[in-house]
């Protein structure tokens, strides 16, 4: 258990660090949004606490939860009210080990239209061929967790109607990159829409980009050799 303890401590510190990054890069405001990491070997997830400013969170306030039953194992604060929306992905998707939920301005603006964010730019492929919008449900409810899970099927991000955005990846850095990329694409869509009708990339092209992103590092190596 010693190794797991060290790893969980490291995860808690990572959540503190990425929380500050979310706030600094304007991906969320005040205490809005939340983030978590799943330690699959122990079945424990670490999630940001409820209602504490991102610059004030200490690693020991990051709450450790049992993913299977949702009970608190350790933490000197209350877990985020959206914990069930994180848990559901760790329980039922083995490609997701980290989740970020934001109230970033442009993604949230698009979510208020209750529409799918289309492939306005190839970076939408960070999430998939497009970014569906989950049906509205009250924040912090199991109903919202279920709606988000359904909307994110075959994707790594979704919008939450009249609320915000959710992204998931193998690591916190991947989930962060997706959140940042989808916020950028949401802003592009908003701006392009305001001056005309944006051209949407076809699905076969998006599927190609999704494939390329799967081994992005490897592709870069090949690129450097040319």
Q: Which residues are catalytically annotated? A: 82
Q: Give the residue with the Cβ less far from Zn ion, 164 or 168.
A: 164
Strand pairing category for 133-134 and 164-169:
unpaired
Q: Report the nearest approach of Zn ion to the CB of residue 103 (Å).
A: 6
Residue partners of 18: CB distance under 8 A and separation at least 6:
35, 100, 172, 176
Question: Interface mask (CB under 5 A) for Zn ion, residues 56-95, using x and -?
Answer: ----------------------------------------
Residue whose CB is less far from Zn ion, 11 or 161: 161
Distance of CA 102 to the CA centre of its chain: 7
What does the alpha-carbon distance between residue 56 and residue 51 come to, in Å, rounded to a whole number?
Answer: 10
Which residues share a beta bridge with 45? 38, 65
Q: CA gyration radius for the chain?
A: 17
Beta carbon nearer to Zn ion, 67 or 145: 145
# chain residues binding Zn ion, by CB under 5 A:
1
Site for Zn ion in 127-146 (CB under 5 A): none
Contact range with Zn ion by CB under 5 A, out of 38-46, 70-78, 86-94, 157-165: 157-165
Please report how close the Cβ of residue 80 comes to Zn ion at its closest, in angstroms. 9
Nearer to Zn ion by Cβ, of 39 and 86: the residue is: 86
8 Å CB contact between 107 and 32: no
Find, among 21, 197, 201, 48, the residue nearest to 104 by Cα. Answer: 21
Q: How far is CA 187 from CA 6, 109, 118, 121, in A?
A: 39, 9, 12, 11
What is the full DSSP assignment across 34-66?
Answer: EEEEEETTTTEEEEPBTT--TTT--GGGSEEEE
Least distance (Å) from Zn ion to the CB of residue 33?
6
Q: Which of the ranges 21-29, 146-154, 161-169, 178-186 carries the binding residues for Zn ion, by CB under 5 A?
A: 161-169
* Closest to Zn ion by CB, 97 or 111: 111
Residue 81 Cβ, how far from Zn ion at the closest point, in Å?
8
24-53 footprint of Zn ion as x/- string (CB under 5 A): ------------------------------
Which residues of this chain interact with Zn ion, rule CB under 5 A?
Answer: 164
């Amino acid at each position: 258990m010693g190794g797991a303890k060290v790893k969980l401590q490291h995860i808690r510190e990572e959540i503190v660090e990425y929380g500050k990054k979310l706030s600094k890069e304007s991906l969320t405001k005040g205490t809005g949004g939340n983030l978590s990491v799943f330690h699959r070997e122990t079945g424990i997830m670490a999630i940001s606490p409820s209602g504490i400013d991102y610059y004030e969170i200490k690693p020991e306030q990051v709450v450790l939860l049992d993913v299977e039953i949702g009970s608190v194992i350790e933490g000197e604060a209350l877990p985020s009210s959206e914990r069930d929306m994180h848990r559901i992905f760790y329980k039922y998707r083995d490609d997701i080990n980290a989740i970020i939920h934001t109230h970033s301005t442009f993604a949230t603006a698009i979510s208020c239209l209750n529409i799918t964010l289309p492939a306005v730019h190839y970076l939408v492929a960070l999430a998939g061929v497009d970014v569906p919008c989950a049906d509205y449900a009250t924040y912090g409810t199991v109903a919202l967790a279920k709606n988000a899970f359904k909307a994110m099927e075959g994707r790594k991000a979704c919008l939450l109607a009249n609320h915000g955005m959710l992204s998931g990846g193998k690591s916190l850095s991947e989930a962060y990159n997706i959140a940042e990329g989808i916020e950028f694409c949401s802003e592009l869509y908003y701006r392009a829409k305001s001056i005309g009708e944006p051209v949407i990339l076809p699905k076969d092209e998006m599927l190609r980009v999704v494939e390329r992103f799967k081994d992005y590092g490897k592709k870069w190596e090949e690129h450097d050799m040319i």
